[in-house]
Amino acid sequence: MSTTTPVGTAPRPGAVVPTSRRERRARQMNRGNPLWGLLAWVVGLLFVAPVLWMVLTSLHSETDAATNPPSIAAALTLDGYRSFFDAGPWPPLINSLSASVVSTALVLVLAVPAAYALSIKPVRKWTDVMFFFLSTKFMPVVAAVLPLYLFARYTGLLDNITYLTLLYTSMNLPIAVWMMRSFLAEVPVEMLEAAAIDGAGLIRTLRSVVAPVALPGIAATALICFIFSWNELLLARTLTAVVAGTSPVFLTGFVTSQGLFLAQLCAAATVISLPVLVAGFAAQDKLVQGLSLGAVK
Amino acid sequence: MLGRHTRRAALATAMSGALLVAGCSGAGGGNGGGGGGGDDEGGDRSINVIMVNNPQMVDLQGLTEENFTAETGITVNFTVLPENDVRDRITQEFTSQAGQYDVASISNYEVPFYSENGWLAPLDDYIADDAEFDQDDILEPIAAGLTGEDGSVYAEPFYGESSFLMYRKDVFEQAGLTVPNNPTWQEVADLAARVDNVQPGMRGICLRGQPGWGQVFAPLTTVVNTFGGTWFEEDWTAKVDAPEFTEATQFYVDLVRAHGEAGAPQAGFTECLNNMTQSQVAMWYDATSAAGSLEAAGSPVAGKIGYAQAPVNRTDASGWLYSWAWGVQEASQNKDDAWEFISWASSQGYEELVGAELGWPRVPAGKRTSTYANPDYQAQAGPFYQATQEAINAADPNDPGVQPRPAPGIQFVAIPEFAAMATEVSQYVSSAIAGQTTVADALGRGQQVAEQQVTQVYQQ
Amino acid sequence: MSTGTDTPITPSGSAASPPAPSQATSARRAADWARRAPLMPALVFLIICTQLPFVATIVISFMNWNSLRPRDRGFAGVDNYVEVFTNASLRSSVWNTIVLTVTVVVVSLVLGLLIALLLDRRFAGRGAVRTMMIAPFLVVPIAAALLWKHALFNPSYGLFNGVLTWIWQLFGSDSPPQPEWLTAAPKIAIEAALIWQWTPFMMLILLAGLQSKPADAEEAARMDGANAWQVFRYLTFPHLRQYLELGALLGSIYIVQNFDAVFTITSGSLGTANLPYTIYQTFFQAGNYGLASAMGVVVVIATIIIATFALRVVSSMFKEENAR
């Protein structure tokens, strides 16, 4: 595609002089045809437009939000956010946060040792174990929701954020094990052997040899687990009521029947998406690694 | 993977067995809700209420803290959801007696079989002990629908409604047309055609098209009734693809496709209310309770609406009868506090509070005789209160059509299977409104569903 | 990379070891357990949380259990399964699930590939464009579904019709077309919302694939006079193949199970109900626990059949990784 353009364009002012092979290649592709860049911008803007529209609408008054054609330049107001925060979103937001953070921590506690036993000192038939983990993700959640509901109903666990947290842990554990295994597989075996010669125990080996190499992987795993827990709707909707409802459940009840609600809705959607947007933007590369179960680095 | 599953089957069978045993013995007992309100945290009293997000309920939510909690010390935690959602949640909650919610907004559809299954707490003792609560003031047809087979009262109405035709007086005047007080459906269809787009962007009529037994099938079943159709004959023979049912549905679908609102297959009560308020339709056939929102202070169409009785074809009246009411879950552990809340929300006092704070048109009416005798209400709800009262009194849940029915209900059949069955059929009808399928095809499939899910069960 | 994963050090065939337990075998056994120990908590936890409920689902699927008729509970034999296979609305939801999954996965992959190729080039503000591109994936799914339904598709004040009005006004026309998107094309509407969310995901995976591509071969090919299409067809595409497979696999896992979009945008109406939605409805609206469980079991079995194929894809990635 880029063969038609001349080779060897000088790096843009301010650009770091590329040294690696990858960057060299990237520089080769930087020849020119500005139309491709333009097209990329257009596509990018098209994809981000609904998100921008959501944010813009959230800053309009209800009347301006519901005009046709759209009032792009209408006066900005925080009324939408005011009505959102008046509706008492803090308990659900805190529930979401605690379920996501705690389940992510639990996942890591369980997944890191498991990944160790699947990569660094692998058990026999470790591939079977890996497939078993992945296979649990093939089961539609909806097929397990009734027993989970009935179990909770008869053990008093309905509307209990701890129960939801545990379920989120099991929901994310397979992905986390896959990801962590692929990261731990990168731990150089010589270092392990060196540690063994030093007479280091399992814990010390983990801490001093494995952890430094695996930390980026842990960060990626944590990010993914956090996002999936934060986004989950079906279980939360079925298993919670008054106390333990999470943000997505709160959002479903936010479409009111009194007049216009678009600005409020967009404000709510923006606030609830914000943690994920921020985390995702901050760690784009980790996102890729995470989503590909660690297969893409 | 299958192997793994089967290998563990023995263990899990044991577990599930235990689950089921617990299920048999546990019905009605035990508070499943971890946060089931009530007596936690230093004697604070609180109850959990789940209700539909209709405007009257949203008003109630806004008034509760200052006027109920401040008086009684009982905190009320509301879960407010759109109608289809709330029904699923309430069904799930009550059938499993999970005890998470003390009070739910139910209706004369649920009361007969909820009470029979022991899911609702009888309220007779509370009524007897509460001198302030005037049970005799409740309108007779409404009270009857909330009484169980055993004669106990199982729910108290929040508001009652029939259905009628609302129209824009100004638009019709401008067009030189009049809407008769007791119109026929043919007249309404003709009027819809003539006012369609006389103002730019204003369609002729709003009729619900959103799937859901309580959505499209509320108005549509009343049309079926007055066209001589029925869901079931007295011996439960399904008549969904009978000529009368088909004719009525075809009429409804044609009307809404030709002169109905934009986005009709997704439009329910809420969307139609918005359409009417925003001057996007000239007429609307729906619940009488909508009038309160249309005439409320701040509504752009207040004072511009005329009201006529539900359009008919072969019957004399065709309005439905429905009441959103408060039921107390049998598994609730806060029944006393629940009654305090209900007796406040369903009282005359609450109506007066709404009248004073939000204006009389917004009062949740249609349940008490005294409301209609109240001069304040008469003065401010003047445009619609008589039409409402007339419609409620004309409705007969036991004989709504031209043939005897196997179970009560005008716009529904009060059996547990109806909700899922009619919702499935409503999806086909909604597709017909969208033009994806024909009415004959939709009802042909509907007939199968009705036979499979109801006739086969009840004719056994 | 040599991590010891390719040849497990554990001696195999301990099952066939001599019956008399020697010191050696018991030591080996202890070593085995030491290896397994870190794995056990995760494994046990996962089995309890995912396998036990499923077995309960299997048991319930053989019961006549309708929560709305609590007195008729009993053993139903295979009645529920017969119903599953004869029920027309279930059949159509199976079909819907297949169509929805295939459409969304394929379109997102193709779009994702094209955009990844664009973003693999250098241009001013590439980082900004990449950030913009991934934004849709980071919107909470239920928020995205509500956004599309109310703020974009709404026929009277949605952005799409608003933009049409605006364009038509530019040309002086007062009567712009105002299609009712959700009514006219409900399935495409749901698919569009999902494609919007999943294209960035596919793009990210494929972009990572493109950037891990060795440049030498490409340069050599260019010098040999290969044109852009040939380079793509014979070098880039084969390299991307496993990334495409990975994207397809992961996308399928999540989209087969999609509940949020169908639930929110159409509530399963206008022929859009997919399997998760239908099962949900049978559970919580019809209260037919037995039938819904039977549906769930059938879905799981079907998914396992499909997954066996998909897992082979993953296992090929495994082998490559081990061979590295």
Residue B9 lies in a domain: no
From chain C, pick out residues whose CB is under 8 angstroms from the CB of B445. Answer: 88
Shared domain check, B301 and B280: yes
Residue C311: what pLDDT?
Answer: 67
CA-to-CA distance for B98 and B86, rounded, in angstroms? 15
Distance CA B388, CA B162 (A): 7
**pLDDT at C85 > cutoff 70:** yes
The boundaries of the domain holding residue B108 are 45-161+322-380
Give the pLDDT confidence of A135-147 residue by residue, as tens digits: 888 778 888 888 9
Mean pLDDT confidence for C149-166: 89
* Residues of chain A found within 8 Å of residue C38, distances taken between Cβ atoms: 113-114, 116-117
| Mean pLDDT value of segment C288-315 | 80
Any domain includes A62: no
Considering only CB atoms, A146 lies closest to which of C12, C231, C292, namely C292
Same domain, B298 and B419: yes
Q: What is the mean pLDDT of residues C240-258?
A: 85
Q: What is the CATH number of the domain that holds B169?
A: 3.40.190.10
Listed ranges B220-224, B397-401, C22-26; the one with the highest mean pLDDT:
B220-224
Question: Both B336 and B189 in a single domain?
Answer: no
Domain match, B242 and B337 both? no
> What's the pLDDT at A1?
36
Say whether residue B264 is in contact with chain C using an 8 A CB cutoff.
Answer: yes
Residues of chain A neighbouring B76 (CB-CB closer than 8 A): none
- Residue C99 Cα, gap to closest chain A Cα (Å): 17
pLDDT at A290 over 70: no
Whether chain C has a CB inside 8 Å of the CB on B427: the answer is: yes
The answer to whether residue B33 sits within a structural domain is: no
Please tell me which residue, C93 or C195, carries the higher pLDDT value: C195
Interface B-C: count of C-beta contacts within 8 A: 122
Within a domain: B267: yes
Band of pLDDT at residue B381, cut at 50, 70 and 90 = confident
HEC sequence for chain C: CCCCCCCCCCCCCHHHCCCCCCHHHHHHHHHHHHHHCCCHHHHHHHHHHHHHHHHHHHHHHCEECECCCHHHCEECCCHHHHHHHHCHHHHHHHHHHHHHHHHHHHHHHHHHHHHHHHHCCCCCCHHHHHHHHHHHHHCCHHHHHHHHHHHHCCCCCCHHHHHHHHHHHHCCCCCCCCCCHHHHCHHHHHHHHHHHHHHHHHHHHHHHHHHCCCHHHHHHHHHCCCCHHHHHHHHHHHHHHHHHHHHHHHHHHHHHCCCHHHHHHCCCCCCCCCHHHHHHHHHHCCCEHHHHHHHHHHHHHHHHHHHHHHHHHHHHHHHHHHHC
Give the integer Cα–Cα distance in Å for B413 and B407.
Answer: 6
**Chain centroid offset of residue C16 CA:** 41
pLDDT value at residue A163: 94
Q: Which residues contact C30 (CB under 8 A, 6 or more apart)?
A: none
Comparing alpha-carbon positions, the chain A residue that sits nearest to B298 is A259
Question: The domain spanning residue A180 has which CATH number?
Answer: 1.10.3720.10
Averaged pLDDT of chain C: 83
Residue C180 identity (one-letter amino acid): E
What's the confidence (pLDDT) of residue B218?
A: 95
Inter-chain CB proximity A281 and C131 less than 8 Å: yes
Residue B59 lies in a domain: yes
Share of chain C above pLDDT 90, in %: 26
What pLDDT is recorded for position C242?
A: 79
**Per-residue pLDDT tens digits for A154-198:** 898 999 999 999 999 999 999 889 888 888 887 777 777 777 777
CB-closest option in B4, B91, B211 to C267: B211
- For residue B438, pLDDT over 50 is answered with yes
Choice among A286-295, B335-344, C202-211 with the minimum mean pLDDT: A286-295
In-domain check, residue A132 = yes
Cα torsion C89, C91, C92, C94: sign: positive
pLDDT digits (tens, 9 = 90+) for B259-289: 999 889 988 888 898 889 889 999 999 999 8
Q: Does the distance separating the beta carbons of B16 and A152 come in below 8 Å?
A: no
Which chain C residues are closer than 8 Å to B117 by Cβ? 70-71
Quick check: A69 and C283 CB within 8 A?
no
Nearest CA in chain C to A139: C300
Average confidence (pLDDT) over B437-450: 94
Q: Is pLDDT at A26 greater than 50 in this prediction?
A: no
Q: What is the pLDDT of residue B354?
A: 94
Count of domains for chain A: 1
The answer as to whether A79 is a domain residue is: no
Which segment of B156-160, B410-414, B417-421, C217-221 scores lowest on mean pLDDT? C217-221
* Spatial contact of B95 and B113, defined as CB atoms under 8 Å apart: no
For B92, name the nearest residue in chain A, comparing CA atoms only. Answer: A238
In a domain, B30, yes or no: no
Q: How much is the pLDDT for B65?
A: 92
Question: Are B58 and A158 a contacting pair at CB < 8 A?
Answer: no
Of A40, A137, A231, the CB nearest to C123: A40
Q: Output the pLDDT for position A131.
A: 81
Q: What's residue A21's pLDDT? A: 52
| C55 in contact with B, Cβ within 8 Å | yes
Q: In total, how many domains does chain B have?
A: 2
The residue of chain B nearest to residue C57, with distances taken between CA atoms, is B16
* Chain A positions with Cβ closer than 8 Å to B: 132, 135, 147, 149-154, 156-160, 163, 238, 241-245, 252-253, 255-260
| The pLDDT value given to residue C248 | 86
Looking at the structure, tell me whether residues B176 and B285 fall in a common domain: yes
Contact A257 B270 (CB under 8 A): yes
Locate the chain B residue with the closest alpha carbon to C70: B117
Which chains does C contact via 3+ CB–CB distances below 8 A?
Answer: A, B
pLDDT at C218: 76
In a domain? residue B352: yes
Do residue B311 and residue B241 come from a single domain? yes
Residues 118-137 of chain C with CB under 8 A from chain A are 118-126, 128-137
In angstroms, the CA C75 to CA C63 distance is 4
Q: Return the pLDDT at B440.
A: 95
Taking 60 as the threshold, does the pLDDT of residue B72 lie above it? yes
Residues of A with Cβ-Cβ distance to B58 under 8 angstroms: 256-258
Contact C311 A24 (CB under 8 A): no
- Considering only A199-213, A275-289, B296-310, B329-343, which range has the smallest mean pLDDT? A199-213
Give the minimum alpha-carbon distance from A211 to chain C in angstroms, rounded to a whole number: 15
* Pair B58, B80: CB distance under 8 Å: yes
For the domain made up of C62-323, give the CATH fold.
MetI-like fold (1.10.3720)
Is the confidence at residue A237, as pLDDT, over 80? yes
With an 8 Å Cβ cutoff, are B31 and A256 in contact? Answer: no
Pick the closest to residue C228 from A87, B252, A2 (CA basis): A2
Do B67 and B156 belong to one domain? yes
Q: Residue B147 phi/psi, 5° resolution?
A: -105, 140
Phi then psi dihedrals of residue C20, to 5 deg:
-70, 120
Cβ–Cβ of C165/A68 closer than 8 Å?
yes
Bridge partners of residue B184, in order along the sequence: B312
Residues B307 and B330 occupy one common structural domain: no
Q: Which residue has the tokens 């054609």?
A: A69
B34 contacts in chain A (CB < 8 Å) = 156-160, 163, 243-244
Structural domain boundaries enclosing A178? 90-246+273-291
d(CA B296, CA A176) in angstroms, rounded, equals 55
Chains A and B form CB pairs within 8 A to the count of 92
Tens digit of pLDDT for each residue in A240-289?
888 888 999 998 877 765 556 888 899 999 999 999 998 888 887 777 76
CB B431 within 8 Å of CB B437: yes
Residue B50 with chain A: CB contacts under 8 Å: 241
Element of type H or E holding B306 = strand B305-309
- For residue C311, which residues of chain A lie inside 8 Å, CB to CB? 131, 134-135
pLDDT at B185 exceeding the cut of 60: yes
Point out the domain boundary residue: B380, B411, B428. B380
pLDDT tens-digit readout, B235-249: 999 999 999 999 999
Give residue A32's pLDDT band: very low, low, confident or very high (50, 70, 90): low
Report the distance separating Cα B191 and Cα B193, nearest Å.
Answer: 5
ipTM: 0.82
C68 pLDDT more than 90: no
**Confidence (pLDDT) at B13:** 38
Q: Is A277 a domain residue?
A: yes
Averaged pLDDT for residues B367-394: 90
The CA distance from C129 to the nearest CA of chain A, in Å, is 5
Which chain C residue has its CA at the smallest distance from B418's CA?
Answer: C286
| Per-residue exposure over C266-301, b if at least 16 CB sit within 10 Å of its own CB, e if not | bbbbbbbbbbbbbbbbbbbbbbbbbbbbbbbbbbbe
Percent share of chain B, pLDDT over 90: 67
Q: How far apart are CA C234 and CA C221, in angstroms?
A: 10
Residues B195 and B273 in one domain: yes
Closest-CA residue of C relative to B1 is C304
How confident is the prediction for chain B on average, in pLDDT?
Answer: 87
Question: Is C109 near chain A, with CB under 8 Å?
Answer: no
| Per-domain boundaries in chain C | 62-323
Q: What percent of chain C clears pLDDT 70, i.e. is strictly above it? A: 89
Residue of A154, A233, A235, A261 for testing the chain B interface, max B β-carbons within 10 Å: A154
Q: Assess whether B339 and B415 both reside in one domain.
A: no
pLDDT, position C318: 56
Best CA proximity match to C258, nearest among C111, C142, C113 = C142
Please check whether residue B183 is in contact with residue B308, taking contact to mean a CB–CB distance below 8 angstroms: yes
- Whether B33 and A156 lie within 8 Å, measured CB to CB: yes
- Touching subunits of A (3+ CB pairs, under 8 Å) are B, C
Identify which of A102, A118, A219, A101 has the alpha carbon closest to the alpha carbon of residue A177: A118
**Interval A73-127: pLDDT, tens:** 888 999 889 988 888 889 999 999 999 999 999 999 999 889 888 887 777 788 8
With CB atoms and an 8 Å threshold, state whether B85 touches A252.
Answer: yes
> CB–CB of C70 and B27 under 8 A?
yes
CA C28, C30, C31, C36 torsion-angle sign: positive
Q: What is the pTM of this model?
A: 0.83
Please say if the pLDDT value at position B339 is more than 70. Answer: yes
| Inside any domain, residue A122 | yes
d(CA C215, CA C161): 46
Mean pLDDT confidence for B309-337:
94
Q: Is C70 on the interface with B (CB under 8 A)?
A: yes
Q: Which residue of B has its CA nearest to A134?
A: B1
Q: Min CA distance, B327 vs chain A (Å)?
A: 17
More confident residue, B257 or B436: B257
Question: A63 to chain B: nearest residue by CA?
Answer: B278
Q: Give the closest-approach CA distance of A145 to chain B in angstroms.
A: 12
Question: Chain B closest CA to A35's CA: distance in Å?
Answer: 40
In a domain, A45, yes or no: no
Amino acid B430: pLDDT:
92
pLDDT of residue A292 exceeding 60? yes
pLDDT at B17: 38
Per-residue pLDDT, B311: 96
Q: Which residues contact A52 (CB under 8 A, 6 or more apart)?
A: none
Which of B9, B91, B262 is the closest to C155 by Cβ? B262
Model confidence at B420: pLDDT above 70: yes
How close is the nearest chain B Cα to the Cα of A101, in Å? 21
